[in-house]
Amino acid sequence: MSGINKKCFIFLVIFQLPFYSFSQGEFNQWRFGYNAGLDFNQTPPIAVSGSALVSLFITVSSADSNGTLLFYSNGTNVWNRNNTIMSNGSGLFTNFACQTVFSAPIPGTLHLYYLFTIGPWNFLPTMKGLFYSIIDMQLNAGLGGIVSGEKNIPVMGGENVPTGIHGTRHWNNKDTWIVVRSQEPQQYLSYLIIPMLNGFSIESTMGC
């Protein structure tokens, strides 16, 4: 493993740690580069093969409360638990830097997830910045899919985010915070994913 890959792997491990304070199984499945993975449903965790991922740089995995794999992504594609690209799960905007993809359940639902990605910086203006897509795990007989018309949606205020997403659970163990950094102007941006009366929301608390 090269030096940069080691750094990205260490970042990935540290990035996941805050979630384990409240974990009930949702973070027990990891898929990452070189077709590898780890299953934390057992102690010690066991190695899993068959992942479709070949690069270690950016990965995210999501499982249900029982620790069963739901999906994983490198920010460009989303694979289901059968290691095949899920419906409408390709063509996401991303760049190949450390941690430019992040998933979070949508509060108040049992089957909807946000998948956040960061598009390539100074490549195409329409692809630059922070985006989200919505995954519905009820689609395709439970294998999931990205909802039609809900892919690569710009996140307000995140137009100049070049790389890096960090996330953690809110103290209420239901909502989720994500933090990114804007390049122009230079400031951190925080977003709180919360439920609403008639849906859900990405609430911006903006920068510092």
What are the tens digits of pLDDT across the range 164-192? 898 888 888 778 899 999 988 888 999 98
Q: How much is the mean pLDDT over the chain?
A: 83
CA distances from 169 to 24, 90, 96, 120, 173 (A): 13, 27, 25, 27, 6
The whole-model pTM stands at 0.82
* The predicted structure's pLDDT at residue 205: 53
Let me know how long the chain is: 208
Amino acid at 125: P
**Two tokens at 191?**
């977003």
| pLDDT tens profile 15-57 | 444 444 445 788 789 888 888 899 999 899 999 999 998 876 6
Confirm if 51 and 32 have CB atoms less than 8 A apart.
Answer: yes
Between vectors from CA 14 to CA 206 and to CA 63, what angle results, nearest 5°? 85
> Which of the two residues, 70 and 17, has the higher pLDDT score?
70
pLDDT of residue 1: 52
How far from the centroid of its chain's Cα atoms is residue 25's Cα?
A: 16
Residue whose token pair is 């997403």: 165
Amino acid letter, residue 8: C
Report yes or no: 59 and 165 within 8 Å, Cβ to Cβ.
no
User: In which residue are the tokens 């910086």 written?
Assistant: 121
pLDDT of the residue at 115: 96
CA 141 from chain centre, in angstroms, equals 22
SS3 35: coil
